[in-house]
Amino acid sequence: MKKAAVLTLCLLCLALVFSCQKTEVPVYPVTAAVDQVDDYFGAQVADPYRWLEDDQAPAVKAWVEEQNKVTFSYLERIPFREKIRQRVTDIYNYPRYSAPQKAGDHYFFSKNDGLQNQSVIYVQKGLEGEPEVFLDPNLMSPDGTVRVNLIGFSRNFKYAAYSRSEAGSDWQEIRVMDVASKVELPDRLKWVKFTGASWTGEEGFYYSGFDAPAPGEELKGLSRFQKIYFHKLGRPQEEDVLIYEDREHPLRYKNVWITEDEKNLILSLSEGTHGNELHYLDLGKKSRVFKPLVRGFEFDTNVIDNVGDSFLLLTNFQALNKRVVLADPRKPDPEDWQTLVPEKPEVLLSAQATGGQLFCTYLKDAASRAYQLDLKGRPVREIALPTLGTARGFGGRRDDAFTFYTFTSYTHPPAIYQYDIASGSSRLFRETEVKVKPEEYEVNQVFYSSKDGTRVPMFLVHKKGFQRDGRAPAYLYGYGGFNASQLPNFNPAMYVLLENGGVYD
């Protein structure tokens, strides 16, 4: 079970404890404070608990041990803790599916039966075909810590590249599967992370990789000098062709992907969690020098697709809430971009080019709004969603007649919908069966003013007929890092609180 879920359950248990009985408040050991003050551009910032950052220090280990003694002695005295654990395990045990990914005549999806350590990747022939196991990471290690992801298909979908990582490490190894036979090829690409596999035909693919670290240095410090390579299928990694490197900026991340028509290789350079440069390589020309498309790291810009010799971009340049533009690479000045989808008051979360159309998903009052437009940015329709919640997906290829999206909310378990691009109709493709009764609960959206007057949306989840008298235990959760909002999402753990008359905010 994920750490976040375990933490949630502990908080729910404590909420129930305080609501049901008078409990002795635990007394924790005193945490030592040190005289540590940092100067940040003239501002003095105290950090008295800096010593706790070294989790391998003997003093920190001793502190953790003493804290745990108090915590677990308290938890062990809760008479109904085991009952809660059993109920949480029961409701957490439900199948989880990803939306299907079309690859030629086949569809790939992941499924977790409920309590499996890792999701299994399945493949089926057509939408009505019988699903078969394609990759089962649970069989790849005795402790179930191997994780796999499909990261790229060859042009005719004969081969699938996948990444394999162990024990939660960022380090990955790329391997290749024959789709029809499900036989793994001997190709092994080591010391890669944060990469896809961008195929050109059936010959091979581009990827991001690092030099092999010195023995014993694999998990120490930051990885430096990421490079772009081309791997030819069947050849050893030592023969991979170096496509791009930058010896002046060792900590820049470099990612590449190829446009669907395989005419351009797109290179994204980033230095952190915000801002990136874009460059492109015309694969139809002899030159192997990337040309600039977007310079500077002040803004975030991604290539959605190419339209002829121009590129569809999703960007927050001159649009904090993002917009979609058409950029002619012969005119590198962003002032020359043609705006297709102007900025709106709502944040544009994603933009996909599928089936010759644009699919834009916005965030309005912490809930999704989805729209279909043509490739010139002209509105076609708003996509009707089941209720206030979160919709993700709408990906695919240019010739697809339909696409898939997943919808969820606090009282709507994740459901996958098949969307017909021509008619705009959605049909339920796969629903989730859970061991709770979401129909017995309701969600109300309310608004309050923050310290600076900003109107902030909040969702209240509780049983139908709930009386707001201020006596019920409430679990309030919010998140504000990395410009990421906490969106409506089905969380089975919260139903332990809801079943016992609590409120989830």
Q: What are phi and psi of 116, to 5 degrees?
A: -65, 145
pLDDT for the residue 6: 43
pLDDT at 22: 54
Residue pointed to by tokens 């810590």:
145
Check if the beta carbon of residue 266 is closer than 8 Å to that of residue 306: no
CB atoms within 10 A of CB 468: 10
The DSSP line for 123-184 is EEESTTSPPEEEE-GGGSSTTS-EEEEEEEE-TTS-EEEEEEEETT-S-EEEEEEETTTTEE
User: Per the structure block, which two tokens stand in for 200?
Assistant: 């050109």
pLDDT at 4: 44
C-alpha dist (Å) from residue 184 to 154, 239, 312:
15, 20, 36
Residues 82, 86, 87, 93: is their CA dihedral positive or negative? Answer: positive
In angstroms, the CA 324 to CA 377 distance is 8
Helix (H/G/I), strand (E/B), else coil: 6: helix
> Any idea of the CA torsion for 270, 271, 276, 282, to the nearest 10 degrees?
-30
Query: Which has the closest alpha carbon to 243: 261, 252, 231, 251?
Result: 231
Q: Give the DSSP letter of residue 495.
A: H
pLDDT at 23 (0 to 100)? 58
Report residue 439 as tokens.
């129909």
| Average pLDDT per block of 10 residues along the chain, 505 residues long | 45 46 75 94 95 93 95 90 90 94 97 95 96 97 95 96 94 97 97 96 96 84 91 97 96 96 96 91 92 95 95 97 96 94 97 98 96 98 97 97 97 97 97 93 93 91 92 86 83 90 92
Say what the pLDDT of residue 3 is.
Answer: 42
pLDDT in the model for residue 492? 87
**pLDDT for the residue numbered 8:** 46
d(Cα 378, Cα 439) in Å, to the nearest integer?
A: 38
Q: Which residue matches tokens 């121009």?
A: 310
The pTM score is 0.88
Strand-pair category, 441-449 with 455-463: antiparallel
